Amino acid sequence: MARLELQRVSKLLANRQVVLQDIDCTVNDGELISVVGPSGCGKSTLLRCVAGLDKITSGDIRIGGQRVNDLPPQQRNVAMVFQNHALYPHMTVYQNLAFGLRVRRVARAIVDARVRRTAVRLGLEALLGRYPRELSGGQRQRTALGRAMLREPGVFLLDEPLSSLDIPLRAEMRRELSALHTALGTTMVYVTHDQSEALSLGQRVVVLADGQIQQIDTPDGIYKEPSNRFVAGFVGWPPMNFLDGDWLENSGLDAHCIDYGIRPERLLLQPSSSADAFIAGRLERIESFGGEWQVEISRNGSRVIARVAPNPELRRDNELRLWFRREDLYAFDRATGRRLQG
């Protein structure tokens, strides 16, 4: 177990393209932090830098207080679960799990005991003799996880470990991962491009875009207090609506140099108080999700989505008003995207 500190970490490629820029982040001992961002923003590179698979251009990485910049992966006391599992295709599940211990010359009897204990914990005991190609996606996932667990690392790095699984299995593995973290108490960095996964799993969340940290906060903090327009639009589903001047012409708000945003679940069919404002547009689309509807209204070609309770009175192509409380509006500086408070 160890604390992971990144100080002004930057990574440039040979062609001087910046992949990571001034990453400052501390993951506390035993904390599960998730890193989320769009494809290509540098998430995998960040993990590979921590693992020692890629060299950083500048900055410092410390694991358990020790500066590891110049240590090879073998000596960094980290374990990594790869996006595509990266199991050894020519080894059985047992051999895959045992490899790291065998490499470190742990006695055979101890290896055997630990492999079997981990296999039981992950429900792999019946599969120990199988080869990776004979496993389902979930079983491969568990094997990759087991292999990393057996290292008993100071820091656990997970690179989109669930992305290759189907949705029900993903939810199940997510719960298992969470339980596993509670049981192991290991420092974990969990990378995903799925914002809901990041929020549900991480004790804190790092939002990354274009190789730069946009915000580090608790899931609640990220959701309620996004620090800029990017985070606000990236976190939450459906994404936050951004309202340009047209939408707000009868609200009395100053839309000059300011972008306003509102989350779809904060738009209401009825005003909750006399102070509420509304936006109005033509009802374009109603999508039913069982207990909830998503409705889309449009005005001059721009669209707004709201999540509302099912309401049989709504008619397509009618004018619809959506009400909101003024304090639910988010304001962003149009030039910088930074969130404006108050």
Partner 1 sequence: MSAKGVLVRVSTYAALIVMALATLFPLLWVTSIAFMRAPERFAGTPPLWPDHPTLVNMVNIVHQQRIGYYFLNSLIVAAATTPLSVLVAGLAGYALAQAKFRAHRLVSWIVMFAVLVPNQALVLPLFEMFSAVHLINHYAALILPAAANAVSIVLIQAYARGIPADVLDAARIDGASEWRTFFSVVVPLMAPMLAAVAVLTFVVSWNDFMWPMIAMQKVDMQTLPVALASIDREHYQNIGLMAAGATVAILPMMFVFLASQRYYLRAVSAGSLTD
Ligand X SMILES: Nc1ncnc2c1ncn2[C@@H]1O[C@H](COP(=O)(O)OP(=O)(O)OP(=O)(O)O)[C@@H](O)[C@H]1O
Q: Report the chain's terminal Cα–Cα distance, integer Å.
A: 41
Q: Give the whole-angstrom CA distance, residue 45 versus residue 11.
A: 9
Per CB under 8 A, 17 contacts partner 1: no
C-alpha closest to that of 128 among 101, 165, 96: 96
Question: Shortest Cβ distance from residue 230 to partner 1 (Å)?
Answer: 29
Q: Which of the listed partners (partner 1, Mg ion, ligand X, none) does 156 bind, with a CB threshold of 5 to 8 Å by partner kind?
A: none
Per CB under 6 A, 45 contacts ligand X: yes
Sequential DSSP letters for 58-124? EEEEEETTEE-TT--GGGS-EEEEBTTB---TTS-HHHHHHHHHHHTT--HHHHHHHHHHHHHHTT-
Q: Which of the listed partners (partner 1, ligand X, Mg ion, none) does 137 bind, with a CB threshold of 5 to 8 Å by partner kind?
A: none
Site pattern 138..167 for partner 1 (x: CB under 8 A):
--x------x---x----------------
Give me the residue whose beta carbon is nearest to ligand X: 44
Question: Shortest Cβ distance from residue 126 to ligand X (Å)?
Answer: 32
Give the residue with the Cβ less far from ligand X, 12 or 169.
12
Give the residue with the Cβ less far from partner 1, 100 or 264.
100
The alpha carbon of residue 122 and the mean position of all alpha carbons in its chain are separated, in whole angstroms, by 23
Per CB under 6 A, 214 contacts ligand X: no
Q: Which of the listed partners (partner 1, Mg ion, ligand X, none) does 42 bind, with a CB threshold of 5 to 8 Å by partner kind?
A: ligand X
Neighbours of 119 (CB within 10 A): 21
Q: Which of the listed partners (ligand X, partner 1, Mg ion, none) does 45 bind, with a CB threshold of 5 to 8 Å by partner kind?
A: ligand X
Torsions phi, psi of 326, nearest 5?
-60, -30
Give the residue with the Cβ less far from partner 1, 89 or 342.
89
Query: What six digits make up the tokens of 112?
Result: 């055997």
* Rg value, the chain, Cα: 24
Give the residue with the Cβ less far from Mg ion, 69 or 83.
83
Give the residue with the Cβ less far from partner 1, 133 or 256.
133
Q: Which of the listed partners (Mg ion, ligand X, partner 1, none) does 256 bind, with a CB threshold of 5 to 8 Å by partner kind?
A: none
Dihedral through CA 96, CA 97, CA 100, CA 104, nearest 10?
-120
Q: Give the whole-angstrom CA distance, residue 156 versus residue 141.
A: 15
Site pattern 7..26 for ligand X (x: CB under 6 A):
------x-----x-------
Instruction: Show contacts with partner 1 in window 297-316 (CB under 8 A).
Output: none
Q: Name 241's bridge partners.
A: 262
**Residue 45 contacts residue 23 (beta carbons within 8 Å):** no
Question: Shortest Cβ distance from residue 228 to Mg ion (Å)?
Answer: 23
Give the residue with the Cβ less far from partner 1, 48 or 266.
48
Instruction: Show contacts with ligand X in window 144-203 (CB under 6 A).
Output: 193
Question: Shortest Cβ distance from residue 263 to ligand X (Å)?
Answer: 25
Instruction: Show contacts with partner 1 in window 35-94 (CB under 8 A).
Output: 48, 51, 53, 72-74, 78-80, 82-90
Q: Give the whole-angstrom CA distance, residue 37 versus residue 71.
A: 28
Q: Is 291 exposed, middle or buried (0-12, 13-18, 19+ CB in 10 A)?
A: exposed
**Could you list the residues that contact ligand X (CB under 6 A)?**
13, 19, 37, 39-45, 193
